[in-house]
Chains A and B, each alone.
Chain A
Amino acid sequence: MPAKRENKTPMLERNATLRATDFVEVNEGYTIAHAAFEAERCLRCQDPVCVASCPVHIPIPEFIHQIAAGNMQGAVDILRSANPLPAVCGRVCPQEDQCEQTCHMGNHFKPVGIGYLERFVADWERANVKSKGVKKPTRQQRIAVIGAGPAGLVCAGDLARLGYPVTIYEGLHAPGGVLRYGIPEFRLPNDILDWEIDLLKELGVEIICNVVVGKTIQLDDLFDKMGFSAVFVGTGAGLPKFLGIPGENLNGVYSANEFLTRINLMQSYNFPEADTPLYLGKRVAVIGAGNTAMDAIRSALRLGAEEGMSIYRRSEKEMTARVEEYHHALEEGVKFHWLTNPVEIVGDDKGWVTGIKCLHMKLGEPDESGRSRPIPIEGSEFIIPLDNVVLSLGNSPNPLLVNSTPGLDKDKHGCLVMDKDKPQTSRKWVYAGGDAVTGAATVILAAGAGKDAAATIHKDLSAVA
């Protein structure tokens, strides 16, 4: 019988004061005892709604049952069959909005810690399962994947598992996409990401870096010159948005993408041992209150900023960051200016940021997003003195591929236009998923889209084989 314990087995976390000075992971993971203890809380429902609300449809009760039974290898096999990136997803998925939100335990108690258990199984695998060597593809039709972010990696993993030879083309010098350049190591350590990618290579996936399809080679070359049978586009949302207010080009103003890329991909925390610098003053504000904003401001504190704050035009209730990230940020000393809208970034005559001019806001009627519309309070202008402003306002899809590829249609937001029945673009044999299609969303939605596309590609190729 499942154990009737009301609360989720807590995750061990590093002390907030200590961890706010380095980039070592905040969450320390479950021990095998924690995992078994938590696994016993799963009700093993007849209709596992958690599975339906998981974008990659992990057979959740099954893998949890294996943990409870002490069969960790069994849990690994079940998890891997559905998700090629469990160590990543177990760390960065917003489980509280997906599987754990629908968990029946949550009707009366706290939901089962599905995310923590997923992470545990992946970490157990990393510690205990040895490499089986590189698998050889069994099929002829070759598939190209554009972009080694979460959508592309999952799509490639599923196709390789089906026996297809898959080549991923990545623009940056290292694979991972937003997992590499965006998410800091205190949430997703690079060696975990490297390990997940190494497992994909063992499945036979080939990754070629420093190639921008649309610039280095054209999409049509992939078919005509290089002989690929199908292409998956997972180019992500890589174009940072700015506010369009005065002062955004002052020195000390960063997009969150640039700020995090300098730190994560380019390792500027290690400057001058690593060559890429970061300009960081004492007082740093991030504009926005999503997960990326939390990543940026928590990184700033770790790098020595004395004061870190989030400035957000809506209220605490509307913030989009995960609750866990918000709490971690509060514990680490991040301050929040709710209902505060920046109208100008001010600077000195040498071009450096000195502060930000803001207006207080109040909440009005719901807007098109369903959230209360923030309305400026006239005459409420005030200045917050600052050395850095990091703009975390979301991203638009990267236009490089679409602009250089005839017949690849995009909508007015720059997102790829998709077939209404399947994850195919306006071009036959060109499939897509992730932020390039939806605009900026989450890692797991991108992973789910990559998985769906892999299934469709397999179906379409099987029909002509």
Chain B
Amino acid sequence: MPKIIEKRVLTPITKLFRFEAPMIASAAKPGQFVIVRVREGGERIPLTIADFDAKSGTVTIVVQEVGVTSRLLGAHEVGDNILDVLGPLGEPAHIPPGGHVVGVGGGFGSAALWCLMRELKERGDRTTVILGARHDHLLLLIDELREVCDNLELCTDDGSVGLKGFVTERLQQLIDGDGPGKPDHVIAIGPMPMMRAVANTTRDTGIPTQVSMDPLMIDGTGMCGCCRVTVGDEVKFACVDGPLFDASKVDFDEAVKRNKIYVKDEKRAAERQQKMKEESANAS
């Protein structure tokens, strides 16, 4: 069981964990993910690898507490073990070298850009990250990202820092030649509406754009087909064919609907979790 050696609270509901997993750390490449299970009877959830270090044998993930499992994981502390971690899974990012790569991150998607941008910068690409959030204190890992990219562009809905507006507005400005200039390649990782907006922004520009799809998964090895995503006229399994896909071809409508299959169940499970938490608080 991988042991947690570092925990950072990035926002009240966003936690960073670094844990010992030498085999995964040696094999991981940017763009890949792990499947995590945190208790007996628990579900298996996919989490993008934010960073990894083969030398220290550690892997870093960032988790946003949105469901039963992510809340349980979020409550873990340094020294705790994570019950099951499987990975690295999925195909690594493939980006042709030598260009200007713009990574667009929203929410905890910025974490996934961390190791990717480092690798691209180290091999000599010009790298820009456009990071967006509602307020400045929801922008994650700014210092880490600033270290691994040439330009860091910030956007907030309320203008508390950087451009007041959406990441796609800044992306459009870059496409039009502003700042670090037109991207040769765009990679967007974050909430579905943001990735869809990025896809729409670059759709007619001819700029190759990838999005990191985040469908529901169980095994993560191609066995169940839960993570089906329609890409062009093909049905792909995000766990083995993805999670990165050509943004212009992804059927976002379908992906959004498929991610809502268990909304009612998730609510029921969350209520149960809350009730148990209250009961244990009352008991002690």
Q: Tally A-B pairs: CB < 8 A.
A: 117
Asked whether, in the complex, the Cβ of B269 is within 8 Å of the Cβ of A215, the reply is: no
Stretch of A123-131, A260-268, A324-332 that contacts chain B: A260-268
Asked whether, in the complex, the Cβ of B41 is within 8 Å of the Cβ of A275, the reply is: yes
Asked whether, in the complex, the Cβ of A238 is within 8 Å of the Cβ of B221, the reply is: yes
Complexed CA–CA distance, A255 and B266 (Å): 21
Closest to A218 in B: B27
Asked whether, in the complex, the Cβ of A242 is within 8 Å of the Cβ of B43, the reply is: no
Q: Do most interface residues of chain B lie in helix, strand or loop, or is the interface mixed?
A: mixed
Within 8 Å by CB of A249, from B23, B39, B223, B258, lies B258
Asked whether, in the complex, the Cβ of A275 is within 8 Å of the Cβ of B23, the reply is: no
Residues of A within 8 A of B89 (CB): 212, 215
The answer to whether the Cβ of A398 comes within 8 Å of any Cβ in the partner chain is yes
Residues of B within 8 A of A267 (CB): 41
Asked whether, in the complex, the Cβ of B258 is within 8 Å of the Cβ of A277, the reply is: no
Q: Do most interface residues of chain A lie in helix, strand or loop, or is the interface mixed?
A: loop
Within 8 Å by CB of A212, from B37, B86, B225, lies B86
Complexed CA–CA distance, A276 and B84 (Å): 15
Complexed CA–CA distance, A217 and B54 (Å): 13
The answer to whether the Cβ of A270 comes within 8 Å of any Cβ in the partner chain is yes
| 1/0 contact string of B3-45 vs chain A (CB within 8 Å) | 0000000000000000000011001000000000101011110
Asked whether, in the complex, the Cβ of A272 is within 8 Å of the Cβ of B23, the reply is: no
Residues of A within 8 A of B283 (CB): none
The answer to whether the Cβ of B272 comes within 8 Å of any Cβ in the partner chain is yes
Closest to A395 in B: B223
Minimum distance in angstroms from A169 CB to a CB of chain B: 10
The answer to whether the Cβ of A140 comes within 8 Å of any Cβ in the partner chain is no
Q: Given contacts A249-B235, A275-B269, are A258 and B258 in contact (CB under 8 A)?
A: no
Give residues 201-253 of A contacting B (CB, 8 Å): 209-212, 215-218, 238-240, 242, 248-249, 251-252
Give residues 81-106 of B contacting A (CB, 8 Å): 83-89
Give residues 194-230 of B contacting A (CB, 8 Å): 218-219, 221-226, 228, 230
Asked whether, in the complex, the Cβ of B223 is within 8 Å of the Cβ of A242, the reply is: no
Asked whether, in the complex, the Cβ of B257 is within 8 Å of the Cβ of A350, the reply is: yes
The answer to whether the Cβ of A376 comes within 8 Å of any Cβ in the partner chain is no
Within 8 Å by CB of A261, from B41, B222, B223, lies B223
Complexed CA–CA distance, A177 and B37 (Å): 18
The answer to whether the Cβ of B127 comes within 8 Å of any Cβ in the partner chain is no
Minimum distance in angstroms from A219 CB to a CB of chain B: 13
Within 8 Å by CB of A398, from B87, B222, B268, lies B222
Asked whether, in the complex, the Cβ of A215 is within 8 Å of the Cβ of B224, the reply is: no
Minimum distance in angstroms from A352 CB to a CB of chain B: 8
Residues of B within 8 A of A251 (CB): 257-258, 260-261
The answer to whether the Cβ of A181 comes within 8 Å of any Cβ in the partner chain is yes
Minimum distance in angstroms from A439 CB to a CB of chain B: 15
Residues of A within 8 A of B24 (CB): 216
Minimum distance in angstroms from B270 CB to a CB of chain A: 9
Q: Given contacts A272-B272, A275-B68, A398-B222, are A215 and B88 in contact (CB under 8 A)?
A: yes
Give residues 69-84 of B contacting A (CB, 8 Å): 69, 83-84
Within 8 Å by CB of B27, from A217, A258, A276, A279, lies A217
Complexed CA–CA distance, A242 and B237 (Å): 12
The answer to whether the Cβ of B122 comes within 8 Å of any Cβ in the partner chain is no
Complexed CA–CA distance, A275 and B38 (Å): 10
Asked whether, in the complex, the Cβ of A215 is within 8 Å of the Cβ of B87, the reply is: yes
Minimum distance in angstroms from A269 CB to a CB of chain B: 11
Interface residues of A (CB under 8 A from B): 171-173, 181, 209-212, 215-218, 238-240, 242, 248-249, 251-252, 255, 257-258, 261-262, 265-267, 270-277, 279, 350-351, 398-400
Q: What are 30 contact pairs spanning A and B, CB under 8 A?
A: A172-B219, A181-B223, A212-B86, A212-B221, A215-B27, A216-B27, A216-B86, A218-B27, A239-B222, A240-B224, A240-B225, A248-B228, A249-B235, A251-B257, A251-B260, A257-B223, A257-B224, A258-B218, A265-B218, A274-B42, A275-B41, A276-B43, A276-B44, A276-B218, A277-B269, A350-B257, A351-B254, A351-B258, A398-B223, A400-B240
The 9 closest A-B pairs by CB, nearest first: A351-B257, A277-B265, A258-B224, A238-B223, A274-B41, A275-B43, A255-B225, A276-B43, A173-B84
